């Protein structure tokens, strides 16, 4: 896709590294959403599972398109529904060639849809399972008071790979994630004037080879699209990329290529797929 950035036109291919096209909000117009994704130059997207049923749906959808991939896992909100049977089923599902990650997993002590001890138990078990399968991880953290980072440090192994989805932490946490070798996922929050201020201050400190861009669609619609629609979609990741390039003072075409390569390497996808 050719995009005008200042006075220049750039040709970019983007990877939406985290979205939920398996969400019911896309049931009636998924073909149109994928069409707009292609028109925007978004050449690939990772569909992220949040429970067993949702993961199964993500894999089915990914199998229907050459540009879609899937992850399987149980979100901390859904931890109360997890079981060893669930993990066994997800492990079997992970054998599908379109499954390239395990997640979204982690801790969320903000809304507490699942009790803290239950979240921690199944976070640990999913870390073990993903490590056994040698799958990269997609992490979710919100208001864990340092407990998420504590668990990651206690269980860290050199082979473990992953991305901290929708990073919203502080500089100390960012440094810790980078020290463990993790990638950092940047969403449309970056484009929001007040909510994104702290994130905009931190993104210049992230090495280019650790950056991923993501929509978290249908959530976190970036500016200016949020003024027209509440539902986010992969095509809108362009806005995040352009804002990221502006803040970091980098050529958007170079940054697009870097984030594409980063996502492909992390998820084990051929760079020219």
Q: Is position 158 annotated in a ligand binding site?
A: no
In angstroms, what CA-CA distances link 266 with 26, 56, 133, 171? 27, 22, 15, 23
* β-sheet bridge partners, residue 212: 185
Q: Is position 216 annotated in a ligand binding site?
A: yes
Q: Is position 156 annotated in a ligand binding site?
A: no
**Phi/psi class of residue 236: alpha, beta or left (left: φ > 0; alpha: ψ in -120 to 50)?**
alpha
CA separation for the pair 85, 96 (Å, rounded): 18
Largest CA distance in the chain: 56
The position carrying tokens 């629609």 is: 229
169-186 CB burial, b ≥16 within 10 A, e <16: beeebbebbbebebbbbb
Query: For residue 68, what are its two tokens?
Result: 């879609």
Three-state DSSP at 110 gives coil
Annotated binding site for a divalent metal cation: 18, 20, 104, 140, 165, 216
Annotated binding site: 18, 20, 104, 140, 165, 216
């Amino acid at each position: 896709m050719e995009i005008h950035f200042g006075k220049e036109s750039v040709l970019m291919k983007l990877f939406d590294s985290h979205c939920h096209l398996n969400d019911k909000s896309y049931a009636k117009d998924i073909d149109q959403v994928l069409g707009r994704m292609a028109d925007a130059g978004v050449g690939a997207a990772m569909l992220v599972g949040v429970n067993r049923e949702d993961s199964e749906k993500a894999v089915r959808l990914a199998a229907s398109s050459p540009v879609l991939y899937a992850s399987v896992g149980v979100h901390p909100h859904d931890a109360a529904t997890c079981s060893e049977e669930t993990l066994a089923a997800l492990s079997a599902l992970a054998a599908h060639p379109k499954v390239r990650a395990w997640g979204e997993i982690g801790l969320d002590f903000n809304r507490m849809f699942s009790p803290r001890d239950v979240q921690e138990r199944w976070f640990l078990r999913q870390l073990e399972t993903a490590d056994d399968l040698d799958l990269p991880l997609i992490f979710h953290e919100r208001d864990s008071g340092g407990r998420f980072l504590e668990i990651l440090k206690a269980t860290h192994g050199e082979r473990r790979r992953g991305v901290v989805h929708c990073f919203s932490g502080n500089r100390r946490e960012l440094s810790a994630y980078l020290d463990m070798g993790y990638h950092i996922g940047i969403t449309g929050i970056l484009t929001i004037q007040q909510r994104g201020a702290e994130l905009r201050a931190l993104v210049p400190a992230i090495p280019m080879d650790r950056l991923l861009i993501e929509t978290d669609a249908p959530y976190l619609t970036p500016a200016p699209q949020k003024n027209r629609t509440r539902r986010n979609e992969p095509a809108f990741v362009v806005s995040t990329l352009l804002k990221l390039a502006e803040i970091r003072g980098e050529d958007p075409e170079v940054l697009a290529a870097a984030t594409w390569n980063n996502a492909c390497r992390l998820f084990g996808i051929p760079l020219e797929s």
